[in-house]
Amino acid sequence: MKTQASPPASHTVAPARLAALEILCRIDNDDAYADLALEAHLEKAGLTPRDCALTTELVYGTLRWRRRLDSELQARSTRPIEGLENWLLNLLRLSDYQLRFLDRVPPWAVVNDAVQIAQRRGHKGIGNYVNALLRKLTRSSPASLPQPADPVEALAIRSSFPSWLIQRWIGRYGMNEAEALANAMNQRPPTTVRVNSLKTTREALQARLSKRKISSRPTRYAPDGLLLEDAPPLVSLDAFRDGLLTVQDEASILVSHLVDPQPGETIADVCSAPGTKATHLAQLMGNKGRIIAMDPHPSRLKLVAESCHRLGVEIAECHAGNVETLAPQFAGICDRVLVDAPCSNLGVIRRHPDVKWRRRESDLESLQPVQLSILGGAAQLVRPGGLLVYATCSLEPEENESVLTRFLANHPAFLLEPPEQFLIPFEPSGMLRLTPASHGTDGFSAARLRRRSQ
């Protein structure tokens, strides 16, 4: 890539780059979650829709490729980048991301913006350092960078993942599949929605979206999902406001199909907020029966009520509190119970790329006590002969097989019982496993347990 020797005199720093830098610094300095930090900043920034889109791309792209960017920056830097101030390192990261992965903005504009920001926040010397480093990058290619001899480290840097996670995936899947999974986790996720069959059909919704020049196609497995292309923010659509659809990944949609609720049954969703699965369960029941929606956070439980109102769900009742505390009120009355357990979220990295830099391997087992406690409380709700479905947005065994093994050892009334037929085949272990590499969905794991009749 070539840089223009001197940018136009009228050039000013792009608002999107300033916004992206502020958000990245807040994520690092305040330990804020990327999606929440981005949403909060954009709400008050007053940016154009185009600048909002570029800010989002810069934030998520820089987070996705952070380790690879750092490796490239260090290889061209005259000083250790670990010693740089947080704002300066993030400025270099997002500039390198834009140079390497985006092509709508000329390189000179990226370099010039970075230099101007560096001089404003630092001094002329910092501006000179940024200018020299970024110009080196515009004259080089990633292929010219030195590669670690260790294949695990090489893949971890190339795919921009923590070494510990890549090592785990190689151990479970082998080198090729681990790399395919990492690459799939780095892709921009599609916009997937669930069609609300209480108000419309998939075909009717497609026709309505088509009138708004929004292309869509059916999801690969779920019978009530759509993949949207070039869609505007969904909350701006009348179809969203009218409750014809809700945002939900296909893997999450399939979890409710695994529960397979029937009209007239009593179903509990014990980690219900924000209500995406609870409303889907009601939808599959044709609004006939009873949904007991629990969540320990009253403020988040309000989101369940709001979703029910928008989607026309009439059979859900909200109960604030954890399932362990609420279980005596509903003991043995539920035909089916869903536990969408809190977990590491390592299966949804493509939607939340900051997760891979937040988590440590030790976190996986540390969450087991919470998951087992919730499962134990949920088990009390299941009637004899009823079903208990356990799901996480994680692929890691410590949060899935290990939890189920310990649960079954302490609850002999339950048996692992995968369905005889399902939309996707189960693994021999009795687990349903969905990955972005194999299925094009988020990473999810789920299992179905049957309580013995006696």
- Burial of 213 (C-beta count, 10 Å sphere; 0-12/13-18/19+): exposed
Rounded to whole angstroms, the Cα distance separating 334 from 294 reads: 13
- Burial of 205 (C-beta count, 10 Å sphere; 0-12/13-18/19+): buried
With tokens 């009823």, the residue in question is 386
376 in Cβ contact with 407 (< 8 Å): yes
Rounded to whole angstroms, the Cα distance separating 393 from 359 reads: 14
Residue 453: CB partners within 8 Å, gap ≥ 6?
384, 385
Rounded to whole angstroms, the Cα distance separating 121 from 103 reads: 26
The DSSP output letter for 397 is: G
Query: Residue 387 forms beta bridges with which residues?
Result: 336, 450
**Annotated active-site residue in 52, 271, 308, 393:** 393
Nearest 5°: the CA angle 148, 435, 420 is 145
Long-range contacts of 298-307 (CB under 8 A, 24+ apart): 300/273, 300/274, 301/272, 301/273, 303/273, 303/274, 303/275, 304/272, 304/273, 304/274, 304/275, 304/278, 304/279, 305/275, 306/275, 307/246, 307/274, 307/275, 307/276, 307/278, 307/279
Catalytic annotation present for 308? no
Among all residues, which ones are annotated catalytic?
393
